[in-house]
Chain A
Amino acid sequence: MKYIAKEIPENVNVSKINPLKEFFILLGGLFGILLLIYFSLGYAFDRLIAKMPDQLEAFFSKTFEQTYAVREAPTAEEKRLQDILDQLQAVEQTGLRPCRVHVVKEPTVNAVAIPGGNILVFSGLLKEVKSENELSMILAHELGHFAHHDHLRALGRGAILAFCSVLLFGADSSLTDFLMNALMTTDLKHSRRQEIDADAFALDLLNQRYGHVGGAADFFERLEQKEKMPHFFAFFSTHPHHKDRLVLLRQRIKEKHYELKETAGLNLAVAGSGQ
């Protein structure tokens, strides 16, 4: 055997594909599949949500109550808020089961509807509110979310996202933890449509309760003026599109010929924080 030294012209052991290209194809495909699962399950969930049994909702509510450390005994402030809410709910047309108000001692200017008929009002918001009608509008808005099952919808999407993550990366992967953490803060976000619908619901309820809609837009107007201030960010993050909403709110007041009358003062029965 005669040996002739020669080079091998081509490397057959390494694929010609650019790793960066493969990276984007695989990542894109993965996200594509995830989105598909997310939206199809989300759609199915939306269809089923109205039929969700109360026990299941009660289970969710327990988890949330633990997260937000909801106290059992209401404070004087909470009793006052509860009164306002009860009077709103006393209006026949809501068709909702009784809801409870909880005050969370945080400077955030926000209110959220969480499963189990609980409305969380952050103390930052109470400082900003000037009249009972304004507060009623906010509470009625949250009732609107309950009436349209928005709180469960948001939760459902979150659960589906978590499910996808667990499916792909396992329950104890850091990526799942990461997603779950992100969920606890963002899953209460509602879509623009949902916010507008809840506003409409709130406006009608306010009119039924007081016979006029005075104060309905006051809170939004004040937010708009103070928009640059940092502690309002939280409110916008879960209640976006406020400018649109203000326009639509005024439009609805006109269309329905709702009257704007004098607003009632707010006494929260707590020294220093009431009006």
Chain B
Amino acid sequence: METVLQTFTFILTIGIAYALGTIIEQDHYVNIQKREKDFLSLPAVSSKSIEQDNLLDGQLVYGSVVISHDYFKRFLASLRNLTGGRITAYESLLDRARREAILRMKEQARLLGADMVVNMRFATSSVGDEAWTLGCFELLAYGTAVRLKIKPT
């Protein structure tokens, strides 16, 4: 009886985690794509150099997100751990985090009236000590927001 109950709880938890996780992810992607379109006029590049004659001023901008996996993704990843290989379950999670971090950075840049962000970099660090129980990490996108005499677009 206890066994049945435990199995049922497990399946229920996994099912709920999957359903909720999928809905949240789809919503987030719709949101990301809409904002990315909106920010197309404010490019972010990894290039370090910029023509000094064209530069008005520059300032550090950054966007940061903290994300965690859900129960379903964690279980899927632990299954993948047995065989090795790409942990596809985390790919979309990280993809969303990166894009969200860039968008937040661009939002900051826009508030400063910048024309573009140069020398953009990513940094990441894990938050919380036990990867299994509370696996979450921060993704930080940062760069130099510049105002230009001749606008890029």
Contact = CB atoms under 8 A, between A and B. Distances in A.
A205 B107 CA distance: 88
Interface of A: 3-7, 11, 13-15, 17, 19-20, 22-23, 26-27, 29-30, 168, 178, 181-182
Contacts of A168: 82
A5 B91 contact: no
Contact of A26 (B36, B40, B83): B83
Nearest to A6: B40
A7 B73 CA distance: 29
Contacts of A22: 76, 80, 88-89
A182 B82 contact: no
Interface of B: 2-3, 6, 18, 36-37, 40-41, 43, 72-73, 75-76, 79-80, 82-83, 86, 88-89, 91-92, 94-95, 98, 116, 152-153
28 contacts: A3-B43, A3-B116, A3-B152, A5-B43, A5-B153, A7-B36, A11-B95, A13-B94, A13-B98, A14-B88, A14-B91, A15-B86, A17-B88, A19-B18, A19-B73, A19-B88, A22-B88, A22-B89, A23-B72, A23-B76, A23-B79, A26-B79, A26-B83, A27-B79, A30-B82, A168-B82, A178-B3, A181-B3
Contacts, number: 57
Contact of B95 (A3, A7, A13, A181): A13
A12 to B, nearest CB: 10
Contacts of A178: 3, 6
Contacts of B41: 5
B59 to A, nearest CB: 20
A22 B78 CA distance: 12
A4 B89 CA distance: 34
Contacts of B86: 15
Contacts of B89: 19, 22
Contacts of B83: 26, 29
A15 B88 contact: yes
A30 B79 contact: yes
A172 B94 CA distance: 31
Nearest to B36: A7
Contacts of A26: 76, 79-80, 82-83
A19 B41 CA distance: 34
Contact of B76 (A6, A13, A19): A19
B103 to A, nearest CB: 14
Contacts of A23: 18, 72, 75-76, 79
Nearest to A23: B76
A182 B3 CA distance: 7
